[in-house]
């Protein structure tokens, strides 16, 4: 019986994906017209006929920023469990990369899952979640209309 080949991550592909996600997330946060600069600052994205996306600044240091991206809808909707998701994403400014730290309402992700495993995770689960984040960010950039929470818009009447 031949032994299964050990999964070896493609580092070039992963780094390219993280670099792409970095640019997309910066563009998305920047499109709100406000740079998140204090912990618990929030950007909301409204997408027609879709659940809202909330981006919260969780942690900020000199070289990194950690955001919580949360998509949610009314819990009474029959599809609520399928569309409610949450990601913790860290941006590394020196490397210009964004990496999913935890996703789909789970704890921290290991770089590679041993396969087979009890949770039925694929060996490249982290790569797949980063791909999904990229697709999700593309969707938000294309269809989202951002607004910031806790911001007052003033109207000047003439």
* Residue 110 lies inside a defined structural domain of this protein: yes
* Residue 154 lies inside a defined structural domain of this protein: no
The rounded radius of gyration (Å) of the Cα atoms in the chain is: 18
State pTM to two decimals: 0.75
* Residue 80 lies inside a defined structural domain of this protein: yes
* Residue 67 lies inside a defined structural domain of this protein: yes
What Cα–Cα distance (Å) separates residue 130 from each residue in 9, 52, 58, 113?
Answer: 13, 20, 19, 15
Total domains in the fold of the chain: 1
DSSP assignment of 64-102, as one string? EEEEEEEEE--TTSTTHHHH-EEEEEEEETTTTEEEEEE
Q: Is the pLDDT of residue 105 over 60?
A: no
Q: Is the pLDDT of residue 5 over 50?
A: yes
* Residue 152 lies inside a defined structural domain of this protein: no
* Residue 134 lies inside a defined structural domain of this protein: yes
Tell me the per-residue pLDDT of 137-150, one tens digit each, with 9 for 90 and over. Answer: 998 888 876 554 44
pLDDT of residue 106: 62
State the residue range of the domain holding 97. Answer: 11-147
Q: Is the pLDDT of residue 66 over 60?
A: yes
Q: What is the mean pLDDT of the chain?
A: 77
Distance CA 129, CA 137 (A): 12
* Residue 1 lies inside a defined structural domain of this protein: no
Distance, CA of 90 to chain centre: 9
Average pLDDT of 81-104? 86
* Residue 4 lies inside a defined structural domain of this protein: no
């Amino acid at each position: 019986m031949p032994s299964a080949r050990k999964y070896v991550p493609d580092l070039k592909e992963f780094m390219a994906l993280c670099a792409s996600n970095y640019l997309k997330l910066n563009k998305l946060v920047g499109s709100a017209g406000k740079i998140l600069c204090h912990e618990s600052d929030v950007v909301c994205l409204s997408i027609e006929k879709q659940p809202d996306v909330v981006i919260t600044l969780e942690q900020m240091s000199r070289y990194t920023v950690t955001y919580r991206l949360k998509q949610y809808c009314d819990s009474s909707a029959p599809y609520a469990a399928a569309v409610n998701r949450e990601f913790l994403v860290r941006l590394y400014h020196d490397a210009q990369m964004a990496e999913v730290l935890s996703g789909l309402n789970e704890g921290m992700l290991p770089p590679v899952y041993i396969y087979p495993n009890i949770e039925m995770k694929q060996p490249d689960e982290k790569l797949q979640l980063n791909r999904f984040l990229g697709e999700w960010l593309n969707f938000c950039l294309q269809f989202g209309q951002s607004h910031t929470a806790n911001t007052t818009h003033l109207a000047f009447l003439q």
